[in-house]
A and B are shown apart, each in its own frame.
Chain A
Amino acid sequence: MPTPDDERFKQYLSEFKPVPARPLPIERRAPAIWRSWVFALPAVAALTVLVAAFFAVHLHRKPAGAAIVKSPANPTAIEQLANSQPLTLHRANDLLAQAPSFKAALDNVAFQRQRGDLPKGSKSALSTLGKEDIKL
């Protein structure tokens, strides 16, 4: 049976605090955010390369002038394409590519309107020759 004196002595002894131990040598894991970045960065890079490769292949397959016409099936757009610039091989290819049929493409080229009016005082050589009565 402990006496009051025992309790006082125990209390006195408890005032002596054991010296602290050295810190525990623990190697902590890297934080979760850091670990996720380590794996996420290569994944994002790989995804970017895949997307870039897809678009590169996709765009390479399209005709060169495809970007000019927004709606290939739209006849008005094709007509604009035919009338907007001088006819060149490049534009002829565009017209053939965009027109619904080969015949439609030729029609657009053959019956395109004259671009702009002639300056004042000058006449079209074609209309002048057309009015002359040339006898062969």
Chain B
Amino acid sequence: MQPTNAETETIETLYRRHSPALLLFALAMTRERSRAQDAVHQVFLKLLERRGAAHAVDVKAYLFASVRNTLLNDAKVRKREVPIDSESAWFDPPNRDYAAELNLRRALGALSDDQREVTIMHIWGDLTFSEIAEVLGVSPNTAASRYRYAVAKLRDAMCVREEPYANS
């Protein structure tokens, strides 16, 4: 049974709101834009088949978990280590500072998978540590701990190359 127009609009609204962070999350996991984009589309097309995410208690956490599961189910992602594509930006940087964008991308790429996931979900996905813990199946303390380590590494990596936020 096809979704109604109202249901389709609801899912499109969810897509507009969350797809940039979900795509970043998928990009950080796969490092391949096409695969990341496909995973995000796949999740939302499944939502359309199921006519919404009304069954989900926390829609945002549910979407991140769905994208993550979709990617983990893809055997190719698990078996391949893809280098970061320097041509494909992950962010629209402030003040069109594309050098900073590349630094951030490299710094994120240098994190462990666990730390990178937590960092992206917390900073760009606006998920709380409790929500992240639910997505990853770990305790909130573990999620918070991974985030702290990740931020320390990011700060070191970014400060070595530049110190833009030191004056802000």
A and B found bound together: yes
* Contact residues, B139-154 vs A (CB, 8 A): 148, 151, 154
| List of B residues within 8 angstroms of A13 by Cβ | 104, 123, 154
Does A14 touch B at the CB level, under 8 Å?
Answer: yes
- Chain A: how many interface residues by the 8 Å CB criterion? 23
Asked if A10 contacts B24 (CB within 8 A), the reply is no
Q: How far is the CB of B76 from chain A (nearest CB, A)?
A: 20
CA distance A51 to B156 in the complex (A): 85
Whether B48 lies near A9 (C-beta < 8 A) is: no
Whether B5 contacts A29 by the Cβ 8 Å rule is: yes
A31: chain B residues at CB < 8 Å are: 5
Contact with B along A1-29 (1 / 0, CB 8 A): 01000101111111111111110111011
Q: Are B164 and A21 in contact (CB under 8 A)?
A: no
Residue of A with least CB distance to B23: A21
- Considering only residues 38-62 of chain B, those with a C-beta below 8 Å from chain A are 40-41, 44-45, 48
Residue among B11, B12, B41, B91 making CB contact with A19, cutoff 8 Å: B91
Q: A18-B20, A26-B12 are in contact. Are A9 and B91 (CB under 8 A)?
A: no
Chain A residue at minimum C-beta to C-beta distance from B19 = A21
Given the complex of chains A and B, what is the CA–CA distance between A122 and B132 in angstroms?
122
B165 near A17 with CB under 8 A, answer: no
The listed residue (A8, A20, A21, A26) touching B165 by CB distance below 8 A is A8
Residues of B within 8 A of A9 (CB): 151, 154-155, 165
| Most chain B C-beta atoms within 10 Å of own C-beta, residue among A10, A15, A21, A31 | A21
Interchain nearest-CB distance for B14 vs A (Å):
10
Chain B neighbourhood of A8, CB < 8 A: 165, 168
Q: Would you call B93 and A26 a contact (CB within 8 A)?
A: no
Chain B residue at minimal CB-CB distance from A22: B37
Q: Given contacts A21-B23, A26-B8, A29-B5, are A16 and B91 in contact (CB under 8 A)? A: yes
The proximity string for B residues 77-115 relative to A, scoring 1 for CB distances below 8 Å and 0 otherwise, is 000000000000111111000001100100000000000
16 A-B interface contacts by CB (under 8 A): A6-B151, A15-B94, A16-B91, A16-B92, A16-B100, A16-B101, A18-B20, A18-B124, A19-B24, A19-B90, A20-B19, A24-B45, A25-B41, A26-B8, A26-B12, A28-B8
List 12 extra interface pairs beyond A13-B154, A19-B20, CB under 8 A. Answer: A6-B148, A8-B165, A14-B123, A14-B124, A15-B93, A16-B91, A18-B124, A19-B23, A19-B89, A24-B15, A25-B41, A28-B5
Question: Which residues of B does A touch, CB under 8 Å?
Answer: 2, 4-5, 8, 11-12, 15, 19-24, 37, 40-41, 44-45, 48, 89-94, 100-101, 104, 123-124, 148, 151, 154-155, 164-165, 168
